[in-house]
Structure 1
């Protein structure tokens, strides 16, 4: 399966309106209850589609040239507006949420934590945490793969950020708080009024937010008071100085810590969880992956040094990122008048670049709904066709970190275990800022490297 070098794209891009908006709430019920089903319906109405979220209008973009323009035209499309205000309430004004005017300085401050020289140290943490996770598994047991993946990647993110001074209990408290926050944040972004209604869910959310902020602030204070370089991300950030010799304040450190944990936990966990389900539903791909792992590892645990010798494993991760990009909908707000697909947009217009739709365009990827890792080895990817980490100056600073972690986790789990879905129902994504599958109970079967393992083809063997 070869991808076209220059895909034939609609010219000019089409603008349309999503039908079926309800009075007052617009398309919110569909976005909250069945987000992917709703998104899959949008390309039939245009490359830029007008959608109503309550009383607000948003413009969902899936055309590759327009997605690139929104990402790179930073004088017109900014990270501002009510949606980002809600995200900043959780993450603070960190690299992932700050306006464009502050982004370059923040990226320079955070860049040392992702220097290539540190990747070996981080991947060693990833491998150790994956071994610790799977050591608790028992043959015949049923685990929620989505929850286990989140537990793994949060542990890796916390250890990479705070290698010293955090107890297992404190790490678990941060993980639990983050999970509550991430579940509640999407609802608050698409329906801000929900936070004004007294409810048990609101109390849980606010309690988790308080625990998160208190926990991170305590760790930052302990590091600053200790004055010791622990060789981790927070120690590096404590040493950052701007051109005036000023270091980051406690509040700025807390904001960046939140960015690092979110980027290193929720995004990567969704990739691992989706990949394990896709492999369970596609036995041929699973068998080929295990064959590569058996040949390279010969029964031993995977190490960071093995990554260059696992091309098919990397292709499985790439294909998972194509089908289910964690950053599935990236928002920008116009700060001056412009147009998209021939339609004028006044200042303050909300634009959503939908990478989920971009990655499933037929002009870019033949049989776009098919899980086909082979497509990555058989041809080049068209320009702007695959953007799971964004592009331009705002591209995710942790792309290498997340890709390495997902590849290591997938290799470690798949080489030792076969995971079979307990139910034949396809996953139902939980609405979050990150495109994560919902609960996925799977039964564990231990495998001997080199031995064939029977796999139930499952309901998704022909596509996703």
Structure 2
């Protein structure tokens, strides 16, 4: 953990260099966001940036991020990135303000109780096996698209497990369009740009409306059925607060869309990066194959296999460190306060970046190297240093759900297939608020054990 001493006097955070007239740091933030944000740590623990007419502060030190996430009333959900996500997710658990979060979290906690995980994992395993069953030796696949289809199938199954669910969640294309729209808006600091009649904005609005209609039909069907299908939607409909009140249809809609988008996009991105990283590190891939051959002997992975697959788990952790799917987030300051000795006025936007923290050499030696074995000695990193799922009361409620899905998918696929990206085409990240790779192709080769 860095031990830089924070100033004890009330001061204003330094502004990052390189701001342009009128535009500020917006060009760098939009066109090379990862390099720009990761480089801010060299200019201080709390750095001020200008995004067109807007000012924002970036917390670059893990202790400041820990304080930021521990005090979710002073630093409430909102700001540049989350305000755009709220347009789609409403007041779902990922975006609702502190005033309603505790009630929502308690009501939804049952859905992700450890006792339910084996049931979820069984559904995950079925969908992973079914989605990859059509694969053939020598096929060339668009890896991010294939992983998005897989993650969509898993999330939809765990959300809606009713027997008649087939065809009830035609949301793959809609989720992709909505995700692109949120990512574009989160990285576009120009007020009013999201209201222009561009093709992208029109696709975004249509996709958002499609998601609303699908969830409306699902909620109506489940309320009429009144059965417990042991899925997430049944939990949402049966949840009650301390006063015995349930969730409204509008609240359930927001949670359904949040689960669909968050559960799909984060896992699809993690799996896509994992195949690229394993291909670039054949020694790690060979060790993974050995582990899987020993434990699985070619069959799909099950929940009870996971304790015997420690390297698989470390690969998931290391992929999330290098490429955290949600790489930048924002908070809104609700009252005048100080952070790291610097004054922050009410209404200010504070940004923090898991990508920035995960790439700090003082926290993770050789930070750009894919090294799953670093987690043999870093099993419990200090608070604020490793935050792919956030921290504190607002930590992602589905963190274990997501890592379980990723581990089952990697184990099941790698036990049967070698995924080799097309040579000569480097895998690069998209420019957006979600850290997914750009489309890339790979060849599938069936493994012989």
- 1:435 is paired with a residue of what secondary structure? coil
| Residue 108 of structure 1: how far off its partner (Å) | 0.7
What is the CA deviation profile of residues 283-321 of structure 1, one whole-angstrom value per residue up to 9, with x for unaligned ones?
111111111111111222211110000001100111111
Counterparts of residues 337-348 of structure 1 (less than 5 Å): 337-348=336-347
Counterpart in 2 of 1:174? 171
Counterpart in 2 of 1:453? none
Check conservation: 2:416, 2:446, Cα contact below 8 A: yes
- 2:55 is paired with a residue of what secondary structure? strand
| Residue 52 of structure 1: how far off its partner (Å) | 2.0
Per the normalisation by structure 1, the TM-score is 0.91
Is structure 2 residue 225 aligned with structure 1 residue 232? no
Counterpart in 2 of 1:377? 376
Counterpart in 1 of 2:127? 129
Counterparts of residues 92-111 of structure 1 (less than 5 Å): 92-111=90-109
Instruction: Give the stretch that moved more between structures: 39-48 or 102-111.
Output: 39-48
Counterpart in 2 of 1:186? 183
Check conservation: 1:74, 1:100, Cα contact below 8 A: yes
How many residues are matched? 442
Structure 2 distance, partners of 1:433, 1:316, is: 23
Check conservation: 1:182, 1:432, Cα contact below 8 A: no
Check conservation: 1:80, 1:333, Cα contact below 8 A: yes
Check conservation: 2:81, 2:329, Cα contact below 8 A: no
Counterpart in 2 of 1:327? 326
Check conservation: 1:165, 1:219, Cα contact below 8 A: no
Is structure 2 residue 419 aligned with structure 1 residue 422? no
| Residue 168 of structure 1: how far off its partner (Å) | 4.2
Check conservation: 1:166, 1:219, Cα contact below 8 A: no
Is structure 2 residue 140 aligned with structure 1 residue 142? yes
| Residue 12 of structure 1: how far off its partner (Å) | 2.7
Counterpart in 2 of 1:261? 260
| Residue 23 of structure 1: how far off its partner (Å) | 3.3
Counterpart in 2 of 1:408? 408
Q: Cα distance 1:382–1:81, how it changes in 2: closer, same or farther (>3 A)?
A: closer
Per the normalisation by structure 2, the TM-score is 0.94
| Residue 341 of structure 1: how far off its partner (Å) | 3.4
Is structure 2 residue 36 aligned with structure 1 residue 46? no
| Residue 140 of structure 1: how far off its partner (Å) | 1.4
| Residue 82 of structure 1: how far off its partner (Å) | 5.7
Check conservation: 2:124, 2:154, Cα contact below 8 A: yes
- 1:17 is paired with a residue of what secondary structure? coil
Check conservation: 1:28, 1:54, Cα contact below 8 A: yes
**RMSD, aligned α-carbons:** 1.8
- 2:171 is paired with a residue of what secondary structure? helix
- 1:444 is paired with a residue of what secondary structure? strand
Counterparts of residues 218-367 of structure 1 (less than 5 Å): 218-367=217-366
Structure 2 distance, partners of 1:235, 1:109, is: 12
- 1:51 is paired with a residue of what secondary structure? strand
Q: Cα distance 1:288–1:124, how it changes in 2: closer, same or farther (>3 A)?
A: same
Q: Cα distance 1:329–1:379, how it changes in 2: closer, same or farther (>3 A)?
A: closer
Q: Select 1:77's aligned residue among 56, 75, 78.
A: 75
Q: Cα distance 1:424–1:48, how it changes in 2: closer, same or farther (>3 A)?
A: farther
- 1:389 is paired with a residue of what secondary structure? coil
Check conservation: 2:187, 2:433, Cα contact below 8 A: no
Instruction: Give the stretch that moved more between structures: 80-89 or 277-286.
Output: 80-89
Q: Cα distance 1:227–1:167, how it changes in 2: closer, same or farther (>3 A)?
A: closer
What is the CA deviation profile of residues 318-372 of structure 1, one whole-angstrom value per residue up to 9, with x for unaligned ones?
1111111122112111111122333211101111111111111111111111110
What is the CA deviation profile of residues 80-108 of structure 1, one whole-angstrom value per residue up to 9, with x for unaligned ones?
34643322210111111000111100001
Q: Cα distance 1:165–1:382, how it changes in 2: closer, same or farther (>3 A)?
A: closer
Counterpart in 1 of 2:30? 32
Q: Cα distance 1:253–1:57, how it changes in 2: closer, same or farther (>3 A)?
A: same
Structure 1 distance, partners of 2:340, 2:246, is: 44
Structure 2 distance, partners of 1:77, 1:15, is: 17
Counterpart in 2 of 1:457? none
Counterpart in 2 of 1:437? 437
Q: Cα distance 1:379–1:398, how it changes in 2: closer, same or farther (>3 A)?
A: closer
Check conservation: 1:62, 1:355, Cα contact below 8 A: no
What is the CA deviation profile of residues 353-402 of structure 1, one whole-angstrom value per residue up to 9, with x for unaligned ones?
11111111111111111110011113454412212111111111111100
| Residue 275 of structure 1: how far off its partner (Å) | 1.0
- 1:442 is paired with a residue of what secondary structure? strand
Q: Cα distance 1:264–1:130, how it changes in 2: closer, same or farther (>3 A)?
A: same
Is structure 2 residue 3 aligned with structure 1 residue 9? yes
- 2:355 is paired with a residue of what secondary structure? helix
| Residue 243 of structure 1: how far off its partner (Å) | 2.2
Structure 1 distance, partners of 2:152, 2:229, is: 19
Instruction: Give the stretch that moved more between structures: 308-317 or 420-429.
Output: 420-429
Counterpart in 2 of 1:459? none
Structure 1 distance, partners of 2:144, 2:129, is: 17
Structure 2 distance, partners of 1:181, 1:8, is: 38
- 1:302 is paired with a residue of what secondary structure? coil
Structure 2 distance, partners of 1:187, 1:166, is: 35
Is structure 2 residue 43 aligned with structure 1 residue 59? no
- 2:418 is paired with a residue of what secondary structure? strand
Structure 2 distance, partners of 1:188, 1:387, is: 23
Counterpart in 1 of 2:388? 388
